[in-house]
Amino acid sequence: MKKKIIAFFKNNPGRQFKSKDLAKRLDISSEHEYSALKAVLHDLYEEKFLSKNGKRYKLGQILSSNKVTGRLQITNGGYGFVVLKNSKMPDVFIAPRNLGSAFNGDTVEVVLFSGKKGKNIEGQIVNVVKRKREELVGTIKKSKSFFIVEPDDRTIDRDIYIDKSNLKGAEENDKVIVSNIEWDSSMTNPEGRVIEVLGKAGSLDAEVISIAKDFNIIYNFPPKVLHEANEISTEIDPEEINGRLDYRNKTVFTIDPEDAKDFDDALSIEKLENGNYSIGVHIADVSHYVQEDSSIDKQALKRGNSVYLIGKVIPMLPEKLSNNICSLVPDKDRLTYSVVVELTPRGRIVDYKIEKSIINSKRRFTYDEVQKIIENGEGEFKDDLLLLNKLAQTLRKKRLNEGSIEFFSPEVKFELDENGNPTNVFRKDIKESNMLVEEFMLLANKITAKHIGAPAKGSVKPFIYRIHDLPDPEKINEFAKFVKSLGYSFNPNGSSRTNQFQLLIESVMGTDEEALINELAIRSMAKAIYSVNNIGHYGLGFKYYTHFTSPIRRYADLIVHRLLYKYLNSHSRVNYTLERLDEISDHVSECERIAVDAERLSVKIKQAEYMKGHLGEEFDGIISGLAHFGIFVKINNILAEGLIRLRDLEGDFYVYDEKKHAFVGKRSKKQFRLGDRLRVKLVRVDLEKIELDFIIAE
């Protein structure tokens, strides 16, 4: 009802309607529906979405006035939407001709047009209030007697004019940073000056900095932050060890990817006399070294998290901390924060403690090394590893039975040459060794969240949780229809929807459809975020969950460490108000979204670079998307996605059938459905636009 009413008023801006008139237009006849309509109208009036004149309702005042202010989002199609400051108001559509001199992300002032039936409210940008970015990254090109920069940001369709005197030594095809951008009229090109030459376009360093600038990610650490990090002693004060759990003489080890440099979690296991097990999850004690409001802390908060691009990491903390002092490297004493859990052989928690500790890792394992020990039963610390794996399997089975969903999102790994060019790409396999580590990290995160969120004594205190809301019913229903069209079973109205998801994920494992179904399942879900308001984690099936296990690379975890220590130790000086934690939660959630988008772009670029060397070759793929202009195909092993243009579908005229999720041939009735397998041939690679074009292989 609410969605119907909102859509109706969006399509009729400026017009007033009584509730009875509205009921007729929305074809509402029953008393029950009419009562619901009046209740929704009242709610929308209270939310200021609607204004009221007597008994007549219309769009709120902010939409009735001629000018509004908001943030511009430009799409790859060249048009934009202005998201208004009042989030309850609808977005304003901006046609390409009405963008003026605004860039993507700018805060702009918009003049609204009269609404047209069935369309978004439309407007024209008349003023740029504030630029999102003062700098842009692009490639220098020479055009006759002058130079231009082609921006990397694909939402900017204007080249930036550079006077010869402002090149700063840059040459054609150099990747550069441009600043002092002036653009007063959409009739002319923007002008700017080069402030930094990053290197030749296509080089790894230039590519990484370009992505960082594209997403407004801080790349270099300010001198003050580096100086502060260098002042931190690598030696541990003997007095600091007093009062900490001492695990230095116990068997503790790390398990990480082969190319990892920062090790922020370690594991230990001991069999107790009563037949239970003591599991130690030991996490780098970053909070000991990074003090609240220090220069390092402020910089870490700005970054929010580390960003893992292909071939390069943009760390949250300076290297001296992330790869040295805080990293749980083998044979070195390291300060940690530990969750030590007593578990029965069946995975039941008997007791736990959360305390500061000190460890000395006895071994740095890679996932592959641990996997071999699990499979062969031979190797260093085999008894400990096999016990941990057995317990992890028990915990995982228990978790899935209690409503957790185990999404397997296939990922790719690249082999790069010395210049950062991809020489090979293959899918990463999730093995038992990965799941072993993941299970104990989940356990530690759940215990710490519940310890604060449902304390045995005292009141609930301000905290940062990792939450995951219920999925949108409409999206779930659409997903169910699609899954059914592929021949799989999924009941969106089942009593245990999480169980339905898990059964589906298991049934598609190892199939060509696995990547597509996992991706669409995740899209149908809400996004997990950080919040001070705990609503539980739907995907994991946990009532209490947080992030505690990665403080080297996530700021949220660092805050959680500080809060835990504050609540467990009265002499802690840390002081965060609920309002401040709410601000931090919103900020780090946004940083995470940006990092995910940047990492996806990095993968996409490397996939395109790899495919450039395979023009004319054939690949097996699956139809991953349908658009009015063609069919998207995802290559099975490489997971690169490209387009078969509609004009290249030969032998018939194809029309899109929305109900069937398919293109159907008018004469032959041949179908190309979402999820269908195809053999395709690569015919074009555009590295600038990061586009792949396929045709159907004969």
Cβ(374)–Cβ(388) under 8 Å? no
Cβ(45)–Cβ(52) under 8 Å? yes
Task: Write down the pLDDT at residue 494.
Answer: 64
Confidence of residue 200 (pLDDT cuts 50, 70, 90): confident
Task: Write down the pLDDT at residue 14.
Answer: 66
Cβ(463)–Cβ(544) under 8 Å? no
- Give me the half-sphere count of Cα atoms (radius 13 Å) on the Cβ side of residue 77: 8
Which residues are paired to 363 by β-bridges?
A: 253
Give the dihedral sign, CA 15/21/26/31: positive
Give the integer Cα–Cα distance in Å for 120 and 93.
Answer: 6
11 compared with 477, residue with greater pLDDT: 477
Backbone angles phi, psi at 251, to 5 degrees: -80, 105
Confidence of residue 444 (pLDDT cuts 50, 70, 90): very high
Please state which of the ranges 22-26, 29-33, 90-94 shows the lowest mean pLDDT: 29-33
Token pair 């490397």 is found at 606
Taken in order of first residue, the domains within the chain and their CATH numbers are 2-61 (1.10.10.10), 65-130 (2.40.50.140), 136-201 (2.40.50.700), 231-432 (no CATH), 613-696 (2.40.50.140)
Confidence of residue 510 (pLDDT cuts 50, 70, 90): confident
Give the integer Cα–Cα distance in Å for 414 and 425.
Answer: 5
Query: CB neighbours of 78 closer than 8 A, spacing ≥ 6?
Result: 96, 157
Model-level pTM? 0.82
Query: 363, 502, 349, 529: which is closest to 440 by C-alpha?
Result: 349
385 compared with 521, residue with greater pLDDT: 385
C-beta atoms surrounding 98 within 10 Å? 19
Residue-wise pLDDT tens digits, 42-76: 877 776 678 788 888 887 654 445 678 899 988 87
Query: 267, 275, 442: which is closest to 370 by C-alpha?
Result: 267
Confidence of residue 116 (pLDDT cuts 50, 70, 90): very low
Please state which of the ranges 204-208, 332-336, 376-380, 612-616 shows the lowest mean pLDDT: 204-208
Query: 238, 241, 251, 312: which is closest to 280 by C-alpha?
Result: 251
Burial class (CB in 10 A: 0-12, 13-18, 19+), 331: exposed
C-beta atoms surrounding 537 within 10 Å? 23
Give the dihedral sign, CA 394/255/246/324: negative
Confidence of residue 157 (pLDDT cuts 50, 70, 90): confident
Residue-wise pLDDT tens digits, 545-571: 999 999 999 999 999 999 999 998 866
**3-class secondary-structure state, position 73:** strand
Query: 378, 554, 397: which is closest to 464 by C-alpha?
Result: 554
Query: 214, 134, 132: which is closest to 181 by C-alpha?
Result: 134
Give the integer Cα–Cα distance in Å for 380 and 398.
Answer: 29
The pLDDT of 403-422, averaged and rounded, is 88
